[in-house]
Amino acid sequence: MRSQSAGGALLAGSGDQSVTAVDRTIPGPAGEIPVRVYLPPGEGGSRPLVVFYHGGGWVICGLDSHDPVCRDLAAGTGAVVLSVDYRLAPEHKFPAAVDDSWAALQWAHDHAADLGADATRMAVAGDSAGGNLAAVMALMARDQDIPLRFQLLVYPATDFSQRRPSIVENGEGYLLTAASMQWFEGHYAPDPTDWRASPMLAGEHQGVAPALVMTCEYDPLRDEGMDYAATLEKAGVAVSARVYAGMIHGAFSMITAVPSAQALMDDACAALRDALA
């Protein structure tokens, strides 16, 4: 796990400290996978379960970098959140992250009761590279009969095979740059035509879990997210797509520094609560 920078920690804050976090490992295809289980406060029955995949270009970040986000998601939804520390590139190139993510989702489904959660009320979620993995997991879950209620895709990368206008429009000056995207992709080294890297290219999208796709006005990935939402809608999937005006890539983790970014967390929690009720 490559931890976030001190600057990233200042932007992210500490998250909701009423949430209990427990580290453990689960079996994976190449050894144990570290995960962190977030338990919201309160008692009563089994809870919904959200499997969360962190962003960081498949190269950086991990459990600690997204700890505040996962705490806030658990507190805001009342769900158990399982954060997955999948293998990172360049040591572990594509599809290692996909393989670990899938192993974690299968484990979460099979062991939901052990976590105090309900396997019939599950969702996947992720931001950026994690949004990419969450979208891929939703497709794999459909094909492997793991029932998902929802997919929360926060400025997801969805198509390595094409470049869209927002990459040119927002490729400089807004934190995530076109050059850094190429750097991350070069380390991850996906096959751009493989739908496990580019979920936009999946043969069909019918029957995947309903989705909220969140994008930001000044994000190079904005158009990929919006196009993916349109693809899901065309396939008959219930989907909501939102562009957050004035926001940049990373806003989901910037609530302390950018108070207006709280809208992304509020909307994410509201959508998950509704879907997992």
Over residues 81-112, the pLDDT tens digits come to 999 999 999 999 999 999 999 999 999 999 99
Catalytic residue among 65, 83, 101, 128: 128
Q: What is the pLDDT of residue 227?
A: 98
Name the pLDDT band for 11 (thresholds 50, 70, 90).
low
Catalytic residue among 66, 109, 205, 249: 249
Q: Is the dihedral of CA 105, 111, 114, 119 positive or negative?
A: positive
Q: What is the pLDDT of residue 2?
A: 53
Domains of the chain: 6-276 (3.40.50.1820)
Whether the predicted pLDDT of 188 surpasses 90: yes
Provide the β-strand partners of residue 242: 214
- Helix (H) / strand (E) element for 249: namely none
Can you say how many angstroms the Cα of residue 261 is from the centroid of all Cα atoms in its chain?
A: 17
User: What CA–CA distance (Å, rounded) separates 166 from 228?
Assistant: 14
User: What CA–CA distance (Å, rounded) separates 137 from 53?
Assistant: 10
pLDDT tens digits for range 206-225? 999 999 999 999 999 999 99
Cβ atoms < 10 Å from Cβ of 145: 7
Q: Hey, what amino acid is at 235? A: A
Whether the predicted pLDDT of 20 surpasses 50: yes
Q: What is the mean pLDDT of residues 14-42?
A: 96
**Whole-prediction pTM value?**
0.96
Higher pLDDT, residue 200 or 11? 200
Provide the β-strand partners of residue 35: 24, 84
**Is 249 an annotated catalytic residue?**
yes
**Is 128 an annotated catalytic residue?**
yes
Whether the predicted pLDDT of 204 surpasses 50: yes
Contact 36, 59 (CB under 8 A): no
Q: What is the mean pLDDT of residues 199-205?
A: 97
Whether the predicted pLDDT of 12 surpasses 70: no
Residue 49, φ and ψ in degrees, nearest 5: -135, 125
Write down the mean pLDDT value for the chain. Answer: 95
Q: In terms of C-beta density within 10 A (0-12 exposed, 13-18 middle, 19 or more buried), how is residue 234 classed? A: exposed
Catalytic residue among 219, 223, 227, 253: 219
Q: What is the pLDDT of residue 178?
A: 96
Q: What is the mean pLDDT of residues 155-178?
A: 96
Whether the predicted pLDDT of 270 surpasses 50: yes
Can you state the angle between helices 96-110 and 129-143, rounded to 10 degrees? 60
Whether the predicted pLDDT of 8 surpasses 60: no
**Is 219 an annotated catalytic residue?**
yes
Q: What is the pLDDT of residue 43?
A: 75
pLDDT tens digits for range 168-187? 999 999 999 999 999 999 99
